[in-house]
Structure 1
């Protein structure tokens, strides 16, 4: 009877204590170089070598110190968690340069344009617009033109 009560009690306890530990969630590459492997161990072959600090990734599964991530192209593989950070970033998607504006509006002053593939820090998003910064430059851009925004 005690075991049954303990099992019922455990079943009602949340599995994680922090929202960022629930999958899926967004991360960014912390390192200048990180290996994506086909399995969650260094014995598995390397599938990709990322050389892009700040690249946004979506964590879809966790296992010990490894994270199964998905990149902006849809590739999935395992990366050691120490190479990842919870700092949010995004990557410009599409086929043409995207307007970065002074205000979150299509009528906002054009500050600059970002080429597809440019990564940057992601700030607040609201009403279909996100704050986006690349180096010292920052402004607002349409959220649908960024990968790494919204719910993962």
Structure 2
């Protein structure tokens, strides 16, 4: 049997407890329209000229997600895991609207985000294979909730690193990479 990369239940409990859901996430409609591409249509961010939506990771062990783009807006969530993958869905000046794997989020200052790619294991248990093939040997298992570093992705597989271990995982076991995305 391979070694287990264990997700800390305490950390997951902290993440769940740190989020407080607000019913109304409204930002002025005219401002909102200027910040994101039309629904269901990928576009480019008006500030960075990078693709929207796109994935990033949280640089710090704590990041406030606000109701709107600015310090005067109320904090709705607090992300508490460094390296956590987040999806950027809009931009406004120095602010990025992000969401986590559950769809929770808000506006985060860009200085809290990194372009380093990570992903979260969303399968109950993900097998880390030696090669990108289901028949290849499994050396390690990763539990649901483990944050991993994306090293490379091909059509159906991603090579990941976590806890000093590396291996290939089927893409569907991860959140933080699009199904058709290739990373080299």
Where on the TM-score scale, by shorter chain, does this alignment land: which range? Answer: 0.7 to 0.9
Please give the alpha-carbon distance, in whole angstroms, between the structure 1 residues aligned to 2:109 and 2:155: 35
Does 1:75 find its partner at 2:141?
no
Question: Does the 8 Å CA contact 1:16/1:22 hold for their aligned counterparts?
Answer: no
- The C-alpha deviation readout for 1:107-146, integer Å capped at 9, x for no partner, is 1111111000000101211130100111311100000110
Secondary structure of the corresponding residue to residue 172 of structure 2: helix
Question: Does the 8 Å CA contact 1:132/1:140 hold for their aligned counterparts?
Answer: yes
The equivalent residue for 1:146 is 174
What value does the CA root-mean-square deviation take over the aligned residues?
2.0
**Structure 2: runs of 5 or more not aligned:** 1-43
TM-score by length of 2: 0.69
Aligned counterpart for 2:129 among listed residues 101, 104, 109: 101
The alpha-carbon deviation at position 22 of structure 1 amounts to 2.6
Aligned counterpart for 1:113 among listed residues 129, 138, 141: 141
Secondary structure of the corresponding residue to residue 41 of structure 1: coil
Aligned counterpart for 1:92 among listed residues 121, 131, 150: 121
The alpha-carbon deviation at position 23 of structure 1 amounts to 1.4
Larger radius of gyration: 1
The equivalent residue for 1:50 is 79
1:35-46 paired onto structure 2 within 5 Å: 35-46=64-75
TM-score by length of 1: 0.83
Secondary structure of the corresponding residue to residue 98 of structure 1: strand
